A = this chain, B = another copy of it.
Amino acid sequence: MRKTSAVDRPDLKYAAYARERLAEMPPPADPEGFALAYHLLHLSYLVVADLESQIHRPRGWTLPGFRLMFKLWLLGPTQPARLAEISAMSRAAVTNAVNTLERDGLVERRPVPDDRRAVAAALTPKGEQAVQEAFADQTRREQQWFAALSPDERSTLTELLVRVLASRPGDTEG
């Protein structure tokens, strides 16, 4: 039975060391602020890399592609501009993602009747099946990631994240 501790994890060991070093420094150094930001970004990075390599790449797709298709699955045909603001991405990134998905036959572009500038991205039947299959796998993998927390703890974590998201600083504040 293999037991893993913080010492076996170079990233956690580094974070602990950095926190100690920052504790010796004068403000604005902030050991606890550093730890919060570091662990948040690092965990997200690991989850993204894991979902990408374990779930989506073996199927020949990507996580960003899946996330876009998942939105189309829930929302139906949607304009790139709306997908961009939902995802907080640039319109150019959506264009590129739709290009790749369209090339693979998972998504198609449709004209919008009322606006000749606009285009709506929509799932093809192949894309819809692809989303449903990957969705089940991704859900199970996400559950594994957070299995170490109790339901109450998971709920607390979600609530704290949402509070930060709802209060996020504007582009020029500060």
Chain A residues near B (Cβ < 8 Å): 4, 6, 9-12, 14, 17-18, 21, 28-30, 32-37, 39-50, 54, 71, 74-75, 82, 85-88, 135-136, 139-149, 151, 153-158, 160-169, 171, 173-174
Bound Cα distance A86, B45 (Å): 13
**Is the pair B157, A34 in contact by a Cβ cutoff of 8 Å?**
no
Bound Cα distance A94, B18 (Å): 20
> Contact partner of A143 among B30, B46, B47, B162, CB < 8 A?
B30
**Is the pair A139, B32 in contact by a Cβ cutoff of 8 Å?**
no
So how many copies of this chain end up in the complex? 2
Query: Min CB distance, A115 to chain B, in Å?
Result: 19
> Contact partner of A32 among B46, B155, B174, CB < 8 A?
B155
Query: Min CB distance, A43 to chain B, in Å?
Result: 5
- Closest residue of B by beta carbon distance from A4: B166
- Closest residue of B by beta carbon distance from A167: B148
User: Contacts A139-B30, A144-B174, A154-B36 hold; do A44 and B46 have CB atoms under 8 A apart?
Assistant: no
> Contact partner of A18 among B41, B43, B74, CB < 8 A?
B74
- Closest residue of B by beta carbon distance from A138: B37
Q: List 13 A-B contacts (CB under 8 A).
A: A9-B165, A14-B71, A21-B74, A30-B139, A30-B143, A33-B142, A36-B154, A36-B161, A39-B162, A44-B45, A144-B173, A153-B163, A160-B160
Residues of B contacting A155 in the complex (Cβ-Cβ under 8 angstroms): 32
**Is the pair B39, A158 in contact by a Cβ cutoff of 8 Å?**
yes
User: Contacts A145-B168, A167-B148 hold; do A157 and B10 have CB atoms under 8 A apart?
Assistant: no
